Chain A
Amino acid sequence: MAGKKPTQDWMADWQALQKQYWSAWQDATRNAAGTVPDPALPWHEGLEQWSRQFANSGKQNETAERLLGSAKAYVALMQSMLAVAAGKDAGAGVQAAWTQALRDGFDLPGLNAAFANNPLAAMLQGLRGPGAHGFSELPQAFAPFLAQAKAEGMSWLNAPAFGYAREHQERMQKAAAAFAQFQDAVGKYNALMLQSSQRSFAIFENKLAERSEPGRQIDSLRGLYDLWVDAAEEAYAEIALSDDFRKVYGDVVNAQMRVRAHVQAEVERLGSELGMPTRSELDSVHKRLHGLRRNGADARIAGLERELASVRSELTALKKAVPRAVAAHKIPAPSAKTAKRKR
């Protein structure tokens, strides 16, 4: 039972833990450049400090970044759950309170606002993917066009273009329309992720209810977190295997490709104007080379096959001719012994 101490004692412990926590960070960062963190800052700020140092270290940086991103979220969750553990009779824990603690854990100051009630969307916020570099700048690039288009009910994007810059304007209209479609598709995707996040909390409560039997109860913060992860994955799988998701996922990918294609075309145009070789030119060369190589290989193989066929037919002819010649000239066939000596 947790209720032997009054709440204020737990709060004192909590503060003591905070101090130890900061002292651990200070130990860890003592030899590194940078300032010592202010103990008044929330927990996750310590992780930020660490993150900033790692950003300059180079070594194992990617793993450290992933570790820190996850740790930050987990520390926030722990903080939220500790508050429940310290403030309530943990032995008679109420599912809803713990679920709320989880929700709160995704909504702490300093964390990405997208975490609020929607941890899945936050994890997938790079939906465009690191393989699609440059996409983060697109909203800024298209912002003026989209702002104008939205203000005019998107009709501007369909307005006929004319005049000297007609072609340019038409291309930009198409690109802006493609980007608006992409944004729309991402919005639908995020809505499904929100649905999945909400469902994860419902499944979490159900899973908690199943743990009431003696021997199955959860006795650690990690255990509680792991249970939520199981719930979140279950909820995500339900959504991700649905027909709705297939459609929305396809729409996001396809819409992104349309935007990319427009951007690439603009870059090509710019490159051409500057006398730079373009992607299309290189593709064309690669395609021809590939074709030449395949044709060359095919021709070589065909040539070798012809040569082989010719050698085979000569060999067959020889095999037939030799016994006839031997018979005609009465040449004695070489004995095994003679043949061996000759070798």
Chain B
Amino acid sequence: MGPIRIEPQKALEEAQRFNRKLAAGLSSLRALDEVNYGATAKEEVYREDKLVLYRFRGDKAPTAKVPILIAYALVNRPYMVDLQDDRSLVRNLLARGEDVYLIDWGYPDPSDRYLTLDDYINGYLDRCVDAVARRHKLDAINLLGICQGGAFSLCYASTHPDKIRNLITMVTPVDFHTSDNMLSHWTRGMDVDLFVDTLGNVPADLMNWCYLTLKPVRLFQQKYIGLVDILDDKIELENFLRMEKWIFDSPDQAGEAFRQFIKDFYQANKLVNGGLTIGDKDVSLKNIKMPVLNIFAEQDHLVPPSASRPLRQHVGTRDYTELAFKGGHIGIYVSGRAQREVPGAIHEWLSART
């Protein structure tokens, strides 16, 4: 018996169905309005340059005594954590009584080209931590760093340990030189000085192109073949478009910060190998003695689990917890499983430590 049992009649019907859906998609795509994002009410509590610090408002007052500050990556927009009503890490944390703040780093323009990691970590992030702590009359708050924001949070927690009560990292790269880390593999042949000196700020489109080429057939083609299946489902189509908007609504990267991040993290792997300095502060993961919850996604193609797991061996804390999520880099925020598992895990872990 052969591997293929495609009956011609069924194949014809399948092709016909595909074409019918595609043709009908013309009207459904045209009829759609621009998609919106952001499900939860929020207020601005601090602003500096292009950065805005928000506090989210839930349906009920928070019961947690120590607030969570979310530090997202620079490479995408932070509204992924609050994409829509039924896909919102923020909303689910609020529903459990957490008090949630979020840093929106903004869209750097050429005037921000010379912002360094020192400006981002010891400057902006530090002042946001201070602003939140001041509002709650606390010395230390909870920090939740996501992806590159997780790497920033590790640096910050190492150099300002007294200001962080509990540290949560999500899909955060720690060891950048594991064998399955394609992104890191590619950057190691790059002359990043030439790159930044030439480009200045790194264009978002170039970054996105690079991410898409990690899985070119799936992301350039198969994904859109799959889109045909949902062209006649308005809700699913809106969800798709919302995600599509998030993926391509990316800020340019401040040149100097990018240069340092690629050199020190991707190329020299200093977070693990040591020798990392941010501004005038030496970063050592051994200084991280507060409780740490490390959440990573098992099918993450951008930050493979092998890049996140080593945190356990390098942090100085004795209170280290790991959560392996069955999903990908994006699914960890937006999938149904994520809504059920991730916010609850964060809340329970924090409740046990406050």
B25 within 8 A of A: yes
Give every chain B residue within 8 A of A55 (Cβ-Cβ).
Answer: none
Which chain B positions have C-beta within 8 A of A94?
A: 2
Give Cα A47–Cα B228 distance, bound, in whole angstroms.
13
CA distance A205 to B125 in the complex (A): 52
Contact A14 B29 (CB under 8 A): no
B30 touches A208 (CB 8 A): no
Q: Which of A208, A209, A283 has the most CB of B within 10 A?
A: A283
A332 within 8 A of B: no
Q: Mark B296-331, 1 if CB is under 8 A from A, else 0.
A: 000000000000000000000000000000000000
Apart from A70-B220, A221-B6, 4 more pairs, CB < 8 Å? A124-B213, A209-B3, A248-B189, A250-B186
Q: Is the CB of A71 within 8 A of B225?
A: yes
C-alpha spacing A13/B218, complex, angstroms:
32
List the B side residues contacting A303 at CB < 8 Å: none
Q: Please, could you name 23 A-B residue pairs with CB atoms under 8 Å apart, sorted by A?
A: A17-B15, A60-B29, A63-B227, A69-B221, A86-B11, A95-B3, A123-B220, A124-B213, A214-B1, A229-B222, A236-B217, A237-B182, A240-B214, A246-B185, A250-B191, A253-B190, A254-B190, A254-B191, A257-B195, A257-B198, A260-B199, A261-B194, A286-B111
Choose from B4, B202, B220 the contact partner of A90 (Cβ within 8 Å).
B4
Q: Is the interface of B mostly helix, strand, loop or mixed?
A: helix
B353: which A residues are within 8 A, CB to CB?
Answer: none
**Per-position contact with B for A53-85: 1 when CB-CB < 8 Å, else 0?**
110010110111011011101110011011001
| CB-based nearest B residue for A94 | B2
Pick from B38-46, B165-173, B203-211, B342-350 the stretch touching chain A: B203-211
**Shortest distance in angstroms between A139's beta carbon and chain B's nearest beta carbon?**
19
Q: How many residues on B have C-beta within 8 angstroms of the other chain's C-beta atoms?
A: 76
Interface presence of A211 (CB below 8 A): yes
Interface pick from B16-24, B58-66, B141-149 = B16-24
Residues of A near any B CB (own CB < 8 A): 1-2, 5, 10, 13-14, 17, 20-21, 24-25, 27-29, 47, 50, 53-54, 57, 59-60, 62-64, 66-67, 69-71, 73-75, 78-79, 81-82, 85-86, 90-95, 98, 119-120, 123-124, 126, 129-132, 208-212, 214, 216-222, 224-226, 229, 232-233, 236-237, 240-241, 245-251, 253-254, 257-258, 260-261, 264, 279, 282-283, 286-287, 289-291, 294, 297
Distance (whole angstroms) from the CB of B126 to the closest CB of chain A:
11
Interface of A is mostly: helix
At the interface with chain A, which of B76-84, B113-121, B283-291?
A: B113-121
- Determine the chain A residues whose CB is within 8 A of the CB of B214 once the complex forms: 240
A70 touches B30 (CB 8 A): no
Which B residues lie within 8 Å of A237 (CB)? 182
Say whether A63 contacts B16, CB under 8 Å.
Answer: no
Do B16 and A249 touch across chains, with their CB atoms under 8 A apart? Answer: no
A21 to B24, CA, bound (A): 12
Would B3 and A236 count as touching, CB distance under 8 A? no
* Chain A residues whose C-beta falls within 8 Å of the C-beta of B194 in the assembled complex: 254, 257-258, 261
In the assembled complex, how far is the CB of residue A61 from the closest CB belonging to chain B, in whole angstroms? 9
For the complex, give the distance between the alpha carbons of A249 and B186 in Å: 7
